Amino acid sequence: MRQLLTVFSLLLLATVFSVQSFADSRAEAEKRLMVEDSYEAAYGRLFDEVAYFQGETYLNQYTNVIVINKAANKQTLRLYTNRQLMLTTKISSGAEDIEYVGAVRGVFNKIFKGATQSHWRHTTRGFYTIKRVEGANYRSGENKFHMPYAMFFNDLRGLAVHQVPPDLSSGEAAGEAALGSRASSGCVRVHKNYIQQIHSAVLAADKGQVPVLSTKTGQPQLDEYGRVRYERGYKTIVIVEEY
């Protein structure tokens, strides 16, 4: 009996140690990964709808303005084209937590689909022009998840507006049911019934000369002579706010 108690005590200590080690590892991952990028905007309302409708901001030089509210109790996307509200729909942005990937799971994910490193499932706030546009069959270069109609706005973090992936581990139907709440790894998921309207608007606007805006403030950047800088790019801007 005494030997059984000793073995049980050792197993209990080992379990406690393992749980504590996992908690310490997770805390360390959160401290290391949950750091906002220097270009990220502050919390709060970023889009001045009144000024936009009156044609008083540099946003009016873009054909499309996509406004995303990533607040946990909002989770919406609005599409404006030439000062008209064209669409409002529910979305899922980043879950805003750490997806912890240990060594064993990392190997498993590498063989199948999924992230191989722990990461913050975060959607960055700010003002971002669309950088590239993909089609219906696009798949992620990292984990090969299907990302139909992906419109990338933050290439540094690989963030895009795209259709709910049909190959999620819990299935497309579950991904659609989650719309209206935070659920993604950082991208902005949209229902299949609405994504093509957004995608078509971006392609129709095409590219042109657009003002270079600060990702943090939305204010135009100036050249050495104090003039607003312009560059060729998609005439669609994405604003991610949280309020």
Distances (CA, A) of 33 to 2, 9, 97: 46, 36, 10
Least confident of 6-10, 12-16, 35-39: 12-16
User: In terms of Cα–Cα distance, which of 156, 116, 120 is closest to 33?
Assistant: 120
Q: What is the pTM of this model?
A: 0.85
Residue at token pair 């129709």: 204
Amino acid at 71: A
In the predicted model, what is the mean pLDDT of the chain? 88
pLDDT at 70 over 70: yes
CA separation for the pair 44, 71 (Å, rounded): 10
Q: What is the pLDDT of residues 113-141, one digit of tens each?
A: 556 678 999 999 999 999 999 999 999 98
| Domain residue limits, the chain | 49-95+123-241
What integer pLDDT is reported at residue 34 of this predicted model? 93
Token pair recorded at residue 189: 């998921």
Q: What is the pLDDT of residues 39-64, one digit of tens each?
A: 999 999 999 999 999 999 999 999 99
More confidently predicted of 79 and 21: 79
CA dihedral 51, 203, 213, 65 (to 10 degrees): 20
With cut-offs at 50, 70 and 90, classify the pLDDT of residue 81.
very high
What integer pLDDT is reported at residue 11 of this predicted model? 52
Mean pLDDT throughout 173-180?
97
Q: Classify domain 49-95+123-241 at the CATH topology level.
A: L,D-transpeptidase catalytic domain-like (2.40.440)
What integer pLDDT is reported at residue 60 of this predicted model? 98
Which residue(s) pair with 88 in the sheet? 78
CA separation for the pair 186, 194 (Å, rounded): 19
The backbone torsions φ and ψ at residue 56, rounded to the nearest 5 degrees and listed phi first, read -105, 10
List helix spans (H) across the chain.
2-33, 49-53, 103-111, 172-177, 192-205
The backbone torsions φ and ψ at residue 78, rounded to the nearest 5 degrees and listed phi first, read -120, 135
> What residues contact 188, with CB distance under 8 A and at least 6 apart?
68, 77, 91, 92, 93, 123, 159, 160, 161, 162, 240
What integer pLDDT is reported at residue 170 of this predicted model? 84
